[in-house]
C-alpha cells in the first residue's frame, strides 16, 4: 500500500506540510489529503465514505464472481488471473486489476474518496476523479501524486454530465458511478443511468433533507417528481422518493433499479443501486411505486400502488402475469379513525429498500480483518444489524413517541408495544432511520387498539378530550380485543438492541451538516460565522421536549460520537428522530 511521499507530514490531521505551501493535511483511512482553500471537505462524511468502501468491496467480489460465471458460460477465460487475482488469491487493494471495476467519482472535490477507493477497494481497474472546479482538480492531481496512486486514478476536469453523456456507448460505460453533490443529485441521474454498465452500481448521496422531508413539497416535486409528506417516517420516505426518481429515470432507457442498500444517516441519505437493462422488468415498475394517503389528524397512512401484477397462467406459460391498475381510492374521504381529511403524497418506491443477499455478503465484508481499520466500523456494524432486521415488505413506519403524543398518552415502553404486536401474531421491526420506529404489518387500527388498552391502565386526563381532536375520536372507541401488555415476548428485544450495538447516531460534531460551496469544513475557524449561531433555540426546545417525553427512559442510547479533526468538543444536538429533519435550521444548500 502506498504511503505519503512527504516525510515532514505528521499524522494529527491538522499540521501544515511545508511552510511554502501552508497546506493542511487530513488523514482518513489510508489516504492523506493536502487541503487547499476553496475545495470541499466534510469530515462528518467519513461514515459515508467508509460504508461506500465496504459496499464497493462487496460489489467488486460479486462482480468478479459474475464475470467468471459469464466467462465459464461463454467458454472464455480471463487473461488477468496470472497478474492479479485468482480464486485462492483474490485481487488486492491498491493494485490495478485489468478485469476490475471502472469507477467514476463524478463530483470529487479533493479526490479523497477516489484515493480511498484506490487504496482500500480490491479489484479496481481505473478510477476517474472528476470535478468541474479548476482548484478542485488541481487538488485532486496533487493528492493523487501525494498518495502515489497515479496508476489507478485519472483526474478529470469536466462537467459531470458532459463526462457521463460522453460515456454512454456500451464499451465506454463505468462499472460504478459515485454521485456525491451539494444538495440534490437529480440533475445527474439521467447521465448516470445511461453511462453505467448493465448490472453496474450507482452510489448516490442527497443532502437536501429539508426538501425531501416535506418542508417545501413544491420544491421536492420540481426536483424529484414526488410530493413528500410531513411524517415521522420522513427519512425513509426521502429514501423512497430518491429511489423512485432513479427508477423512473432509468425506465426511460429500458433500464431498472435493484436497491442493494438504502441508508438514512446524519443529514443525508445514501443509496446503492444496481442498474439492469430489461424491457419486461421495466413493465413491473408501476407496481413498485405507490401514492401515500396520510390523515391530517392522526397521521395514519395508507399506500396505494400505481400498478398491480395479477397472475395470468396459461398452459404455455404458467408464470405469466398481467399488468393492471388498481381501483381506488384506498381510503374514504374522511379518516376511519379520527374523521379528518387526507393529504396525498408520493409517488414513492414501495418495493424493498435493500437486497437481503447483498446485505449478507456485505456483513461478511464488515466482519473481515480488513474492515477493522475503518474508524466508523462500530457504527457501520450497528446500522447494518438494524437494516438486516427491518421488515423488507413493509414500507414506512410509525414512531411510538408520535402515536402517544397524538393521543396525549403516557409513553408506553417500546418493548411492551412490540410484545403486544408479536403476541397478537403480527411482525414488527425497527427502521434504522428512527430510534422510536415501529415497522409492522399490523394495520394502524391494531396500534390504536393497543394504545386504547394502554389508556385503560394509564388514562388520558379528561380535559384532553376536546371536540374534533383525533384523540377524542380514537379513544372514544373500545378496542376490538384485548392485547397482552403484561408479558414480554421473547422476540420483542431484537439482537441489535440486546447486544447494545451502535444503532442510531446521536451526538454529532460541531458544525454538523452537509456543508456548502461557500465553506471549507475542516476546522472551526473556517466555518461561516452565521452557522455558529444556528439552531440554538431549536436545540433547547428539543432538549426540553426530550425531558418531557421521557423517551430516554425507554430506549437505550448507545450512540456514536462523530468527531472531526480540529473541531471543538461535541455538542448535544437534536436527535433526528425527535422531530428534526436532520439539517440545521437556516442552512441554505446552494445549487450544485
Ligand atoms: C459535496 S462535494 C464532493 C465531495 C466528495 N465526493 C467527498 O467525498 O469529499 C461536491 C463537488 O462537486 C463539484 N461539482 C459541482 N457541480 C459539478 C458538475 N456539474 N460537474 C462536476 N463537478 C461538480 C464541486 O466543485 C464540489 O467539489
Ligand atoms: Zn385520522
pLDDT digits (tens, 9 = 90+) for 99-112: 999 999 999 999 99
pLDDT at 4: 43
Q: 180 in ligand 1 pocket by Cβ < 6 Å?
A: yes
State the ligand closest to the CA atom of 406.
2
Backbone φ, ψ for residue 549 (5° rounding) = -70, -25
pLDDT bracket for residue 229 (50, 70, 90): very high
User: Are 167 and 549 contacting, i.e. CB atoms less than 8 angstroms apart?
Assistant: no
- Mutation probe of ligand 1 site: the residue of 34, 37, 40 with most atoms within 8 A of C-beta: 40
Q: 117 CB under 6 A from ligand 1?
A: no
CA 200 vs CA 339, 355, 574: distances in Å: 48, 15, 37
| Residue 505: band (very low, low, confident or very high) from pLDDT cuts 50, 70, 90 | low
H-run or E-run covering 357: helix 356-367
At residue 464, the pLDDT reads 96
| Mean pLDDT, the chain, integer | 85
Check: CB of residue 224 under 8 Å from CB of residue 246: no
Band (133; pLDDT cuts 50, 70, 90): very high
Q: Is 45 in the pocket of ligand 1 (CB under 6 A)?
A: yes
What pLDDT is recorded for position 44?
A: 85
pLDDT, mean of residues 121-127: 98
| Continuous segment of H or E residues that includes residue 201 | strand 196-206
Structure confidence by residue, pLDDT tens digits, 321-342: 999 999 999 999 999 999 999 9
Straight-line distance from the first to the last Cα atom of the chain, in angstroms, rounded to the nearest whole number: 34
Output the pLDDT for position 71: 87
In this structure, the residue with its CA closest to atom 17 of ligand 1 is: 132
- How confident is the model at residue 500, as a pLDDT? 74
Average pLDDT over residues 461-484: 96
User: Ligand 1 pocket, 107 CB below 6 A?
Assistant: yes
Asked if pLDDT for residue 519 goes beyond 70, the answer is no
461: CA distance to ligand 2 center in Å? 21
Of 109, 177, 185, best ligand 1 pocket probe by most atoms within 8 Å of the beta carbon? 109
Ligand of minimum distance to the alpha carbon of 517: 1
CA distance 507 to 586: 20
Q: Which residue carries 393521543 as its cell?
A: 407
CA of 337 to the centre of ligand 2 (A): 5
Is residue 469 scored above 60 in pLDDT?
A: yes
How do residues 552-575 score in pLDDT, each as one tens digit? 333 443 333 322 322 322 222 223
pLDDT of residue 6: 40
CA atoms within 13 A on the CB side of 494: 23
Residue with the nearest Cα to atom 5 of ligand 1? Answer: 108
Cell 445549487: give the residue.
Answer: 591
Nearest to 109 by CA among 31, 40, 27: 40
Residue nearest (by alpha carbon) to ligand 1 atom 13: 107
Instruction: Give the range among 99-108, 413-422, 465-474, 517-526 with minimum mean pLDDT.
Output: 517-526
Place 515 in a pLDDT band, splitting at 50, 70 and 90. low
Q: How confident is the model at residue 499 (pLDDT cuts 50, 70, 90)?
A: confident
In sequence order, the 6+-apart residues with CB closer than 8 A to the CB of 122 are: 57, 60, 61, 85, 90, 91, 92, 93, 97
Q: Could you read off the pLDDT of 411-463 as tens digits, one per residue?
A: 999 999 999 999 999 999 999 999 999 999 999 999 999 999 999 999 999 99
**Sign of the dihedral through C-alpha 73, 77, 82, 83:** negative
How far lies 36's CA from each of 51, 67, 440, in Å?
A: 26, 40, 49
Our CA angle for 255, 261, 262, nearest 5°, is 95
539 vs 344, residue with greater confidence: 344
Q: What is the pLDDT of residue 148?
A: 98
346-380 exposure pattern, b = at least 16 Cβ within 10 A, e = fewer: bbbbbbbbbbeebbebbbebbeeeebeebebbebb
- For residue 359, the Cα-to-chain-centroid distance in whole angstroms is 14
Q: What is the pLDDT of residue 202?
A: 99
- CA dist 414 and 556 (Å) reads 11
**pLDDT (average), residues 393-399:** 98
Q: Which residue's alpha carbon is at the smallest distance from atom 10 of ligand 1?
A: 181
- For ligand 1, the distance from its centroid to the CA atom of residue 572, given in whole angstroms, is 30
pLDDT band at 74 (very low <50, low <70, confident <90, very high): confident
- Residue 84 pLDDT: 52
Under 8 Å CB-to-CB from 429, ≥6 apart: which residues?
Answer: 389, 390, 391, 394, 439, 440, 494
* C-alpha distance from residue 110 to each of 5, 140, 244, 382, 425 (Å): 17, 5, 30, 29, 52
Rg (CA), the chain: 25
Closest ligand 1 atom to 515 CA: 1
| Domains annotated on the chain, with CATH | 397-499 (3.30.56.70)
Structure confidence at residue 76 as a pLDDT band (50, 70, 90): confident
- Location of C-alpha cell 431498472: 256
pTM: 0.85
Q: Is the CB of 112 under 6 A from ligand 1?
A: yes
Q: How far is the CA of 223 from the centre of ligand 2 (A)?
A: 29
Give the number of whichever ligand sits closest to the CA of residue 45: 1
131 CB near ligand 1 (under 6 Å): yes
Whether ligand 1 lies within 6 angstroms of the CB of 207 is answered as no
Which of ligand 1's atoms lies nearest the C-alpha of 39?
27
Tell me what pLDDT residue 563 has. 28
Residue 153 CB neighbours (<10 A):
27
Ligand closest to Cα of 403 equals 2
What is the whole-number distance in angstroms between the Cα of residue 180 and the centre of ligand 1?
7
Amino acid at each position: 500500500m502506498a504511503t505519503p511521499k512527504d516525510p515532514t507530514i505528521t499524522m494529527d490531521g491538522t499540521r501544515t506540510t511545508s511552510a511554502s505551501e501552508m497546506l493542511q493535511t487530513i488523514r482518513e483511512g489510508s489516504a492523506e489529503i493536502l487541503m487547499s482553500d476553496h475545495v470541499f471537505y466534510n469530515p462528518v462524511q467519513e461514515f459515508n465514505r467508509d460504508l461506500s468502501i465496504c459496499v464497493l468491496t462487496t460489489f467488486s467480489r460479486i462482480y468478479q464472481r459474475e464475470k467468471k460465471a459469464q466467462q465459464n458460460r461463454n467458454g472464455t477465460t480471463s487473461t488477468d488471473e496470472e497478474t492479479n487475482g485468482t480464486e485462492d488469491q483474490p485481487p488486492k487493494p491498491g493494485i490495478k486489476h485489468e478485469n476490475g471495476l471502472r469507477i467514476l467519482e463524478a463530483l470529487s472535490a479533493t479526490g479523497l474518496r477516489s484515493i480511498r477507493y484506490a487504496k482500500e477497494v480490491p479489484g479496481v481497474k481505473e478510477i476517474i476523479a472528476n470535478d468541474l472546479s479548476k482548484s478542485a482538480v488541481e487538488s485532486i492531481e496533487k493528492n493523487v501524486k501525494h498518495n502515489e496512486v497515479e496508476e489507478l486514478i485519472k483526474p478529470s476536469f469536466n462537467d459531470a454530465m458532459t463526462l457521463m453523456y460522453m460515456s454512454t456507448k456500451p464499451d465506454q460505460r463505468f462499472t460504478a458511478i459515485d454521485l456525491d453533490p451539494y444538495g440534490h443529485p437529480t440533475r445527474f441521474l439521467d447521465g448516470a443511468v445511461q453511462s453505467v454498465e448493465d448490472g453496474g452500481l450507482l452510489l448516490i448521496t442527497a443532502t437536501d433533507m429539508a426538501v425531501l422531508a416535506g418542508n417545501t413539497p413544491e420544491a421536492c416535486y420540481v426536483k424529484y417528481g414526488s410530493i413528500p409528506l410531513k411524517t415521522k417516517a420522513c427519512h425513509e420516505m426521502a429514501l423512497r422518493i430518491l429511489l423512485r426518481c432513479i427508477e423512473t429515470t432509468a425506465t426511460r432507457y429500458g433500464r431498472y433499479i435493484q436497491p442493494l442498500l438504502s441508508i438514512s444517516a446524519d443529514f443525508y441519505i445514501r443509496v446503492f443501486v444496481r442498474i439492469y437493462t430489461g424491457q419486461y422488468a421495466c413493465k413491473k415498475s408501476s407496481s413498485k411505486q405507490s401514492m401515500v394517503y396520510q390523515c391530517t389528524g392522526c397521521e395514519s397512512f395508507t399506500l396505494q400502488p400505481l400498478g398491480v401484477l395479477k397472475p395470468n397462467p396459461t398452459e404455455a406459460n404458467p408464470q405469466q402475469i398481467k399488468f393492471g391498475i388498481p381501483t381506488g381510492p384506498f381510503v374514504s374521504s374522511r379518516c376511519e379513525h379520527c374523521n379528518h381529511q387526507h393529504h396525498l403524497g408520493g409517488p414513492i418506491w414501495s418495493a424493498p429498500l435493500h437486497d437481503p443477499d447483498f446485505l449478507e455478503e456485505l456483513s461478511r465484508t464488515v466482519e473481515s480483518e480488513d474492515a477493522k481499520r475503518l474508524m466508523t466500523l462500530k457504527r457501520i456494524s450497528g446500522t447494518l444489524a438494524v437494516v438486516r432486521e427491518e421488515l423488507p415488505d413493509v414500507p414506512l413506519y410509525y414512531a411510538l413517541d408520535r402515536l402517544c403524543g397524538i393521543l396525549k398518552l403516557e409513553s408506553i415502553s417500546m418493548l411492551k408495544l412490540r410484545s403486544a404486536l408479536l403476541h397478537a401474531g403480527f411482525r414488527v421491526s425497527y427502521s434504522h432511520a428512527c430510534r422510536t420506529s415501529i415497522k409492522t404489518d399490523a394495520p394502524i387500527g391494531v396500534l390504536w387498539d393497543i394504545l386504547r388498552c394502554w389508556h385503560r391502565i394509564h388514562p388520558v386526563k379528561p380535559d384532553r378530550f376536546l371536540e374534533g381532536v383525533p384523540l377524542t375520536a380514537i379513544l372514544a372507541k373500545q378496542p376490538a380485543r384485548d392485547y397482552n401488555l403484561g408479558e414480554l415476548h421473547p422476540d420483542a428485544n431484537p439482537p441489535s438492541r440486546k447486544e447494545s450495538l451502535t444503532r442510531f447516531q446521536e451526538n454529532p460534531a460541531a458544525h454538523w451538516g452537509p456543508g456548502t460551496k461557500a465553506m471549507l469544513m475542516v476546522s472551526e475557524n473556517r466555518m461561516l460565522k452565521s452557522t455558529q449561531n444556528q439552531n440554538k433555540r431549536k436545540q433547547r426546545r428539543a432538549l426540553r421536549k426530550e425531558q418531557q417525553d421521557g423517551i430516554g427512559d425507554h430506549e437505550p442510547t448507545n450512540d456514536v460520537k462523530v468527531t472531526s479533526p480540529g473541531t471543538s468538543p461535541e455538542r448535544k444536538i437534536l436527535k433526528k428522530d425527535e422531530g428534526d429533519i436532520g439539517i440545521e435550521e437556516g442552512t441554505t444548500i446552494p445549487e450544485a
